[in-house]
Amino acid sequence: MPMENQRSAVNAERDRPWLIRTYAGHSSAAASNALYRQNLAKGQTGLSVAFDLPTQTGYDSDHVLARGEVGKVGVPVGHLGDMMTLFDGIPLDQMNTSMTINAPAAWLLSLYIAVAEKQGTPRASLQGTTQNDIIKEYLSRGTYIFPPAPSLKLITDVAAFTYREVPKWNPMNVCSYHLQEAGATAEQELAYALGTAIAVLDAVRDSGQVPEEDFAKVVGRISFFVNAGIRFVTEICKMRAFCELWDEITRDRYGIEDAKYRRFRYGVQVNSLGLTEQQPENNVYRILIEMLSVVLSKNARARAVQLPAWNEALGLPRPWDQQWSLRLQQIMAYETDLLEYEDLFDGNPAIERKVGTLKDGARAELARLDAMGGAIAAVDAGYMKQELVKSNAMRLADIENGVTKVIGVNAFTETEPSPLTSGEKSIMTVDEMAEQEQIEKLKAWRSDRDQAKVKDALSTLEQAAREGCNIMESSIACAHAGVTTGEWSETLREVFGEYRAPTGITSMIVTGDAENLQTLRTRVDEVSNKLGERMKMLVGKPGLDGHSNGAEQIAVKAGEAGIDVLYDGIRWTPDELVRNAIDEGAHVIGLSILSGSHVPLVREVVNGLRARGAGHIPVVVGGIIPEADMLILRQMGVAAVYTPKDYQLVRVISEIVDLVDRTSSEPPVAQSGNRTSDGVGTAIY
């Protein structure tokens, strides 16, 4: 038998596979625990916990801003009891757990440590990661709470605590994932993520909490969480550039001599931004190609991979959908011979040229950040946010104009009906009773605990925060005392205050669709003349959904068209949006909601308008909205519903202008909630 045809996989030395994860959590701690145990039984090798928006933003489930959001995009964790239920039957000393949590990261880590102590597991044996990257929250994801300076102090506290007490824990996962989701170019993703890491390490170094001789240990525990998009070769080169730049920064800026502490350690979730509602079965190929870009190059291979499901552009994936993504990873790791070879790209001239170009671009952008005073200063100045909004606007304009081809969206749109999306159970929905049940359990928890211990623990926490001490031990004591997520966060809100990040909305013109845009401007002028004033649109994000990219792009495009736009960022109650629309004289309201909470939040806005005699103001809604929910929204009086398939923003704004023209010309209608819709939609995605 010829040697080249002999099977050698059994005897060949293979690299250890990356950690195989799925990002999961919904409804309740008990339901999520069942899902985790099910996935682990299927061969998943690590956990990646998705928390719901109230938990991510430090609110208890019964807070006014939590209405409609409990358990929708992740698991609600309000106290130690929830955390114990979440990990019931899962030995934490044998698990590597990633927690996607940022502003309250110190608190969720404290709960995790408290659960371990309840299990009899030593702190030092725990392995995992808290994302804990607040800077990208200001730029893209929106689950920040505190201003930048105290937020950086909290990250420093976690890093200084874990390197001593939980040495296998990654205290921060510098997250470039959401930067790409917000439209970042490869150079921006590199520069803004590395700039964030520099800001954190500078803060730790200058805090006095870590002796100089131990600083390398902290550097060695900083990890990254990146995004892999569809531009396959660019993504391979980006990851190699990340590794080389991080080695350079840690060596030259921080003097780290030991190469193991300079290693670029990262996990990845491949791109969700590019998943399409149209022909969603094509997303399977996109996910596979994107995963290849972070596992093929051995010298830049991900340490952990989690993949979205093929139907995440439609709604919440079912366990079967998650299993499909899990099996995709396992086939790559165990059936192929990928892990038997050295790096496949070393010495490739095309790769080396592209890596060099990306590094040069990233260094230039890092120099701009340094000139501003670093990443925190660039956040406060609104620079990075504005640049991301520009990049995303250009990306969307290229899709709208056909410069960028997206199969099934603006190219090869002819299709057969997909059997995968037919039927009532093609996506998973959260039981509407889950929120009320969580609130009832929360109230029972509060009533059953020792209130004196809670008061004392919160007092100690507040004192530590006011005196600038490390808050980790006092937070762990709070966890054991029965303190809730909202109480922990509110205590620190009282000390540090809250923050509202810059929106990044400017009047820049970025699209190449000049002719259609000029026609639209003329139409806006005509309608404004009929109104007797400039047409005004309020773009609002009710509730806790921080995905503002779509709302920002609608605001930018409406502004380009000559509409006066009212957009003040994220996290408003429906009542606040109603009052703002009436006070400012808005002619139309556009609501963007991607958290699955569109029905209850929109209902509150519509009812609020009617209660104040302003039911004549038309409301349009955009987001990831199932067909059945579109009908509900229209029946309650929504004039138009938009989903990710509606990527042509000039057309979307044109339809909204026509809507204002019609409704301003029509006699008032009875407030019956029977307004019909054109059935058109938007890329408020």
pLDDT digits (tens, 9 = 90+) for 7-50: 444 445 789 999 898 888 888 999 999 999 999 999 998 899 99
Q: What pLDDT does residue 251 have?
A: 97
Query: What CATH number does the domain containing 186 carry?
Result: 3.20.20.240
Distance CA 203, CA 292 (A): 35
| CB environment 176-204: b (16+ within 10 A), e (fewer) | bbbbbbbbbbbbbbbbbbbbbbbbbbbbb
Q: Does 154 map to a domain? A: yes
Q: Does 298 map to a domain? A: yes
> Is the same domain home to 468 and 520?
no
Q: Are the C-beta atoms of 684 and 622 separated by less than 8 Å?
A: yes
- The three-class DSSP label of residue 681 is coil
Q: Which helix (H) or strand (E) holds 642?
A: strand 640-642
Contacts of 411-417 with C-beta under 8 Å, sequence gap 24+, read 413/278, 415/278, 415/279
What is the DSSP secondary-structure string of 373-435? TSHHHHHHTTHHHHHHHHHHHHHHHHHHTTSS--BTTTBS---PPPGGG-STTSSB---THHH
Q: What pLDDT does residue 667 have?
A: 56
Number of domains in the chain: 3
CB neighbours (10 Å) of residue 20? 23
CB neighbours (10 Å) of residue 627? 11
Q: Does 395 map to a domain? A: no
Instruction: Pick the catalytic residue from 441, 541, 587, 598.
Output: 541
φ/ψ of residue 512, rounded to 5: -100, 5
pLDDT digits (tens, 9 = 90+) for 586-607: 999 999 988 788 899 999 999 9
> Is the same domain home to 481 and 531?
no
Residue 437: domain span: 432-493
> Is the same domain home to 474 and 585?
no
Q: What pLDDT does residue 423 have?
A: 67
| CB environment 585-611: b (16+ within 10 A), e (fewer) | ebbbbbbbbbbbbbbbbbbbbbbbbbe
Q: Does 656 map to a domain? A: yes
Cβ-based neighbours of 562, under 8 Å, separated by 6 or more: 521, 524, 525, 528, 534, 535
Q: Does 15 map to a domain? A: no
pLDDT digits (tens, 9 = 90+) for 253-271: 999 999 999 999 999 988 8
Distances (CA, A) of 94 to 91, 339, 457, 544: 6, 24, 30, 34
Instruction: Pick the catalytic residue from 72, 79, 178, 587.
Output: 178
> Is the same domain home to 459 and 542?
no
Q: What pLDDT does residue 3 have?
A: 45
Q: Which helix (H) or strand (E) holds 475?
A: helix 472-481
| CB environment 438-474: b (16+ within 10 A), e (fewer) | bbebbeebbeebeeeebeebbebbbebbeeeebbbbb
Instruction: Pick the catalytic residue from 36, 59, 112, 177.
Output: 177
pLDDT digits (tens, 9 = 90+) for 93-106: 999 999 999 999 99
> Is the same domain home to 317 and 444?
no
> Is the same domain home to 487 and 519?
no
Distance CA 481, CA 478 (A): 5
Planar angle of CA 582, 583, 585, nearest 5 degrees: 65
Q: Are the C-beta atoms of 555 and 567 separated by less than 8 Å?
A: yes
Distances (CA, A) of 296 to 288, 335, 364, 503: 12, 14, 28, 37
> Among this protein's residues, is 62 annotated catalytic?
no
> Is the same domain home to 443 and 579?
no
Query: What CATH number does the domain containing 530 carry?
Result: 3.40.50.280
Instruction: Pick the catalytic residue from 354, 359, 385, 547.
Output: 547
> Among this protein's residues, is 177 annotated catalytic?
yes
Q: Does 386 map to a domain? A: no
> Among this protein's residues, is 647 annotated catalytic?
no
> Is the same domain home to 592 and 642?
yes
Q: What pLDDT does residue 508 have?
A: 54
Cβ-based neighbours of 403, under 8 Å, separated by 6 or more: 397, 512
Distance CA 544, CA 593 (A): 9
> Is the same domain home to 456 and 533?
no
Q: Does 71 map to a domain? A: no
> Is the same domain home to 325 and 451?
no
> Is the same domain home to 336 and 445?
no
φ/ψ of residue 520, rounded to 5: -65, -40
> Among this protein's residues, is 247 annotated catalytic?
no
> Among this protein's residues, is 23 annotated catalytic?
yes
Distances (CA, A) of 105 to 112, 127, 176: 10, 15, 17
Token digits for 48?
């990646």
CB neighbours (10 Å) of residue 612? 14
Q: Are the C-beta atoms of 76 and 104 separated by less than 8 Å?
A: no
Q: Are the C-beta atoms of 250 and 202 separated by less than 8 Å?
A: no
Q: Is 300 exposed, middle or buried (0-12, 13-18, 19+ CB in 10 A)?
A: buried
Q: Which helix (H) or strand (E) holds 130?
A: strand 127-130
Distance CA 658, CA 514 (A): 20
pLDDT digits (tens, 9 = 90+) for 78-124: 999 999 999 999 999 999 999 999 999 999 999 999 999 999 999 99
Is the torsion defined by CA of 450, 456, 457, 459 positive or negative?
Answer: positive
Q: Which residues of the chain have pLDDT under 50?
A: 1-11, 669-685
> Is the same domain home to 106 and 148?
yes
Domain boundary among 381, 400, 424: 381
Distance CA 297, CA 37 (A): 31
Outline where 536-597 has alpha helix (H).
549-560, 574-584
Instruction: Pick the catalytic residue from 133, 157, 321, 545.
Output: 545
Q: Does 424 map to a domain? A: no
- The end-to-end CA distance of the chain, in Å, is 57
Distance CA 434, CA 25 (A): 13
Count Cα atoms within 13 angstroms, Cβ side, for 230.
16
Residue whose entry in the numeric block shows the structure tokens 């000029």 = 518
